Amino acid sequence: MSEDEQFEAIETARKIFAGPIAFLKSAPDLKFLPDPVAKEVAFAGRSNVGKSSLLNALTNRNGLARTSNTPGRTQELNFFDVGDPAQPLLRLVDMPGYGYARAPKDMVRKWRFLINDYLRGRAVLKRTLLLIDSRHGIKEVDHDIMKMLDDAAVSYRIVLTKADKVKASELAAVADRTMQEIRKRPAAHPDLLMTSSEKGMGIPELRAAVIDALD
């Protein structure tokens, strides 16, 4: 993409996310999923990685998705309509986190099935944004999810979060390591997005990446 095209993609995406966006529904179980009438883009990642915060930054609406310092805040699949709610352009899906060791075992199991079944089986899911904490890089549980997505040929894109929490040199190092991982992954988008919901870093580019996923 040329610089002009990237600029245009960012501007188009900015306008879309400045328009109407509304909470649609919460699905604690696959049988409560909304009718698959719009393309979906999902936010997945370890517990506390910053999924709900990133969704809020993306839509420029604080408090649209509920965030918390305590892991395990989001416990259901939460759907948000972008565009005219009667005919949404797309739906954003805020997911429960995985890998939260201190959650009760039956809850962990329930979330794992919900996450895996949704990601693997949802025909309207156009792309999964797989969030990785800049401070920690890719962990074992992330490898498990990536393998599952690769095996099921579900397109995903890695997004580093909380970039404001690390020094520029550390960010460059974690980005390098993560890029090496991505190259080996068949279903992963070849580029990395570096973001901070707190500082707004990478958010315009992430908006463009979400819109790009709809093609």
- Whole-number Å distance between alpha carbons of 102 and 112: 14
Cβ proximity to ligand GTP, 72 vs 83, nearer residue: 72
Looking at residue 23, the DSSP 8-state letter turns out to be: E
Q: How far is the CB of 128 from Mg ion (least distance, A)?
A: 15
Cβ proximity to ligand GTP, 13 vs 163, nearer residue: 163
Q: Kindly state whether residue 178 participates in binding ligand GTP, applying the rule CB under 6 A.
A: no
Which of 97, 99, 202, 204 is the binder for ligand GTP (CB under 6 A)? 97
Contact code string over 36-75 relative to Mg ion, x by CB under 5 A = ---------------xx--------------------xx-
Q: Under 8 Å CB-to-CB from 122, ≥6 apart: which residues? A: 33, 36, 40
Q: Answer with the entry of Mg ion, ligand GTP, none that 72 interacts with (C-beta below 5 to 8 A by kind).
A: ligand GTP
The answer to whether the CB of 73 falls within 8 A of the CB of 52 is yes
Cβ proximity to ligand GTP, 76 vs 83, nearer residue: 76
Q: Kindly state whether residue 50 participates in binding ligand GTP, applying the rule CB under 6 A.
A: yes
Q: Kindly state whether residue 134 participates in binding ligand GTP, applying the rule CB under 6 A.
A: no
The DSSP code sequence of 78-102 is EEEEES-TTS-SEEEEE---B--TT
Q: Kindly state whether residue 61 participates in binding ligand GTP, applying the rule CB under 6 A.
A: no
The strand pairing partners of 46, in sequence order, are 98
Considering only CA atoms, which of 142, 154, 46 is closest in space to residue 101? 46
Q: Answer with the entry of Mg ion, ligand GTP, none that 78 interacts with (C-beta below 5 to 8 A by kind).
A: none
C-alpha 125: how far from its chain's center? Answer: 12
- 116 burial type by CB count under 10 A (0-12 exposed, 13-18 middle, 19+ buried): middle
Composition of the chain by helix, strand, coil, percent to 5:
40, 20, 40
Q: How far is the CB of 61 from ligand GTP (least distance, A)?
A: 13
Q: Answer with the entry of Mg ion, ligand GTP, none that 88 interacts with (C-beta below 5 to 8 A by kind).
A: none
Q: Which residues are at the interface with ligand GTP (CB under 6 A)?
A: 45, 47-53, 67-69, 71-74, 96-97, 161-162, 164-165, 196-198
